[in-house]
Structure 1
Amino acid sequence: MRLPPLQAAKFIRRYKRFMADVELANGNILTIHCANTGAMTGCAEKGDTVWYSDSKSTTRKYPCSWELTELSNGNLVCINTHRSNQLVQEALQNKVIKELAGYSEIYPEVKYGEENSRIDFLLKGEGLPDCYVEVKSITLVKNNIGMFPDAVTTRGQKHVRELLAMKKRGHRAVVLFAGLHNGFDCFKTAEYIDPDYDKLLRQAIKEGVEVYAYAGKFDKIQEIPTALSLTEVVPLCFN
């Protein structure tokens, strides 16, 4: 997935959920839009390098958008959660997700379930059961372990219940954890943050819901990030 042209700044603070102040190289302070409404645990430390895009819009109050954070250890993380489905759709189209490579039709944002949900992707293929794919972003990493969620997620719990119901109806049901961070080599749920989500996901796995986590890789040109892609499945490291 190609990233928009990016510029660097130093992170100062995030506030009102959707706004952040950054310091430019000339010392000026710029307010940028933050598309991530989550906790962003470990992704917004004062002094981190922020990579932002500029829409050049004359109608947006804040035309610049926070795209990536470069952490003090050099790892990159895409904090713009709108990018996760773009990333996964490209990976599905290019048959990068080996476990789902047999499907020829990809339908994004399809209404389904009993709790008024939308599945991120419904996959169809001749002779194959319909496959419901829910995408979640990995932005929280500790000790090279990717984790989800970074805050209590009642919405995520709902999605697991919906997928379990689809599985019981004879469909394939998949939770795909997409690496928006390049610093992990295995994956687990952050049970210390949301034990209910951890319990639900473990039960769903026992009942046939499939869970895959894919590593993310950033490409650079002259040290500026230019692209993000999913590369390979990483092992699950549930306790």
Structure 2
Amino acid sequence: MKFTPACQQGVLIKRYKRFLADIELADGSQITIHCPNTGSMKNCCQPGSKVWFSTSNQAKRKYPHTWEIVETPITHQDGKVDHYLAGINTGRANHLVREAIDKGVITELQGYSEINKEVRYGKENSRIDFLLKGEGLADCYVEVKNVTLAIGDGWGIFPDAVTARGAKHIRELMEMVEAGHRAVLLFCVQHHGIEKVAPADAIDPTYGELLREAIKAGVEVIAYQADLSAEQIELVKSLPVIERLTQ
């Protein structure tokens, strides 16, 4: 996914009202941009952080700029602090996954002739991000989650806040497996400092238990990491998913 034009850089002053952020530009001027992330953005919205934002040519938009990337500080167990880029626009995750499927990057999801988006399914009236179909293949239900919470030493965890919605999606995926379909939970890792993904039991223990239950039930849980820059974002490689955080 390429940014046209390339993202511009600024410094975060503050994020507020969930959907807004004030940015200081290189010339000292300030602008308000759209924040496309309704979550806690834990570790990803510290004032003073470098940020990158895209620009829309839609004249009717009140805020033509959209926050895309932030530079995040991560403290490792040895006390060393490194800085990594993280993609905070959760709306990009599905696009990145679709692009990676089409390019053959996500090897686990190849061989399907039909890809449907936002299909209603399940007893809890959910919408699956992708429903893959192919002749002679079981229907494949793919739920995508964006991962940006890095806690050091290569660990990335999900979720960054308690998520009843995320728990519902896991239950729905387990039901699909029970019905004879294929179900995949895909962590889209938009963070350069993450090398492995685990459930955030300390933040949402219910989600962690459900995830492990789902894996036992046959839900496939995979993770792919994005390469991020001011010019483009794309998923490039698979990361291991660990059932329980160990430090």
Residue 3 of structure 1 is matched in structure 2 by 3
Q: TM-score, normalised by structure 1?
A: 0.94
Deviation at 1:111, TM superposition (A): 0.9
Residue 54 of structure 1 is matched in structure 2 by 55
Computed over aligned residues only, the root mean square deviation of the Cα atoms, in angstroms, reads 1.2
Residue 88 of structure 1 is matched in structure 2 by 97
Residue 211 of structure 1 is matched in structure 2 by 221
In the alignment, the residues of structure 2 paired with residue 216 and residue 52 of structure 1 have an alpha-carbon distance, to the nearest angstrom, of: 17
Deviation at 1:70, TM superposition (A): 1.9
Deviation at 1:38, TM superposition (A): 0.3
Residue 35 of structure 2 is matched in structure 1 by 34
Identity %: 53
Deviation at 1:127, TM superposition (A): 0.9
In the alignment, the residues of structure 1 paired with residue 39 and residue 214 of structure 2 have an alpha-carbon distance, to the nearest angstrom, of: 24
Residue 70 of structure 1 is matched in structure 2 by 71
- Post-superposition Cα deviations, 1:73-123, rounded to whole Å, max 9, x if no partner, equal 341111111100000000111121111112221111111111111100000
Matched, 1:236 2:241: yes
- Post-superposition Cα deviations, 1:3-49, rounded to whole Å, max 9, x if no partner, equal 34210010010111111111111111111111100000111111111
In the alignment, the residues of structure 1 paired with residue 142 and residue 55 of structure 2 have an alpha-carbon distance, to the nearest angstrom, of: 32
Matched, 1:79 2:84: no
1:218-229 matches, cutoff 5 A: 218=228, 220=229, 225-229=230-234
In the alignment, the residues of structure 2 paired with residue 100 and residue 60 of structure 1 have an alpha-carbon distance, to the nearest angstrom, of: 36
1:130-209 matches, cutoff 5 A: 130-143=139-152, 144-209=154-219
Residue 119 of structure 2 is matched in structure 1 by 110
- Post-superposition Cα deviations, 1:135-174, rounded to whole Å, max 9, x if no partner, equal 0011111111111100111000000010100100000001
Q: Look up the SS of the partner of 1:71 in the other structure.
A: strand
Gaps of 5+ in 1: none
Matched, 1:124 2:133: yes
Count of residue correspondences: 234
Q: Look up the SS of the partner of 1:181 in the other structure.
A: coil
